[in-house]
Amino acid sequence: MADFSDKAFDLILEFEGMNQPGKWPGGASGITIGYGYDLGFTNAGKFQDDWGDKLPPDAFTRLQSAIGLTGANAQKKAPQFASIIVGKDPSLVVFRDRTIPEYVATTAKAFPGLDKLPSDAQGALVSLVYNRGAAMNGDRRIEMRAIRDAVARGDLQAIASQLRAMKRLWNPKTQRGLRRRRDAEAALVESCIGQNN
């Protein structure tokens, strides 16, 4: 993963934070460990591949019971994991070696032409997809579709503008983190304007 933007890597880590399984993140999330690794949206084989040699066997076995649980079901389960502490070092390894390459591929599929953008701009869009997914349908995805079109044109300013426009979706008082993340992603894209890829 040598060509992934260091600035984007740090941006994602900053906004995801380090999750422990005993504290449920809220909303539609499942039990989340490390840097945004949501057990509600994985399967047993992938969890084994990603974390099987990174967690103590007992902790791994216990956490397997959270696979596929989301929302209120995950919230009820979280207290059972309060004694499990997931280390920062193995979390970074999973994030760097397993999660980011997967999201780079998902982002490239969602935004054709991504590979022609500067590295930091690509990374900002990986952060977006890591946070929101790659879906394009519906009123809450208007900006995603506009970004897809802007990526195809290589229009960095339009990409940044659409990232900021997306803030309409989140309450300025209660969802400041999501709004700040879009601003940070937009600023990272704008930092590339005038650069040669």
CA distance 182 to 161: 10
pLDDT band at 194 (very low <50, low <70, confident <90, very high): confident
Residues 174 and 104 in one domain: yes
Q: In the chain, where does DSSP find H-type helix?
A: 6-16, 44-51, 57-64, 71-77, 88-94, 100-110, 119-132, 142-153, 156-165, 176-190
Q: Does the pLDDT at position 1 exceed 50?
A: no
One domain, residues 142 and 158: yes
Task: For residues 148 and 114, state if they share a domain.
Answer: yes
Chosen domain end from 85, 116, 136? 85
Q: What is the pLDDT of residues 39-56, one digit of tens each?
A: 999 999 999 999 999 999
Question: Helix axis angle, 57-64 relative to 44-51, nearest 10°?
Answer: 160
Number of domains in the chain: 2
Note the pTM of the prediction, 2 decimals.
0.89
- Is 93 among the domain residues? no
Express as a percent the part of the chain with pLDDT over 90: 94
Based on the domain organization, do 36 and 120 belong to the same domain? no
pLDDT band at 196 (very low <50, low <70, confident <90, very high): low
- Boundary of a domain, candidates 41, 60, 85: 85
Return mean pLDDT, the chain. Answer: 95
Q: Could you give the 3-state DSSP secondary structure of residue 34?
A: strand
Question: What is the mean predicted confidence (pLDDT) over 35-41?
Answer: 94
Residues 77 and 127 in one domain: no
Band of pLDDT at residue 2, cut at 50, 70 and 90: very low
Q: What's the CATH number where 126 sits?
A: 1.10.530.40
| 108 and 188 belong to one structural domain | yes
> Could you tell me how far CA 94 lies from the centroid of its own chain?
13
Question: What is the average per-residue pLDDT within 73-78?
Answer: 97
Mean of pLDDT values over 174-197:
91
pLDDT at 3: 63
Evaluate whether residue 12 is within a structural domain. Answer: yes
| Same domain as 176, residue 123 | yes
60 within some domain: yes
Q: Is residue 61 part of a domain?
A: yes
Distance, CA of 106 to CA of 57 (rounded, Å): 30
Q: Same domain, yes or no, for 139 and 118? A: yes
Write down the pLDDT at residue 111. Answer: 98
Q: Please check whether residue 80 lies inside any domain of the structure.
A: yes
Mark whether 35 and 10 lie in a shared domain: no
How far is residue 173 from each of residues 62, 86, 178, measured CA to CA in Å?
Answer: 37, 31, 11
Q: Is residue 94 part of a domain?
A: no
Residue 52 lies in a domain: yes
Range of the domain at 153: 1-16+99-197
156-165 vs 119-132: helix crossing angle, rounded to 10: 30
Length of the chain: 197
The predicted pLDDT at position 174 comes to 87
Q: Are 194 and 112 found together in one domain?
A: yes
11 near 188, Cβ under 8 Å? yes
Q: What is the mean pLDDT of residues 169-175?
A: 92
161 found inside a domain: yes
CA distance 173 to 195: 35
- Give the pLDDT confidence of 134-156 residue by residue, as tens digits: 999 999 999 999 999 999 999 99
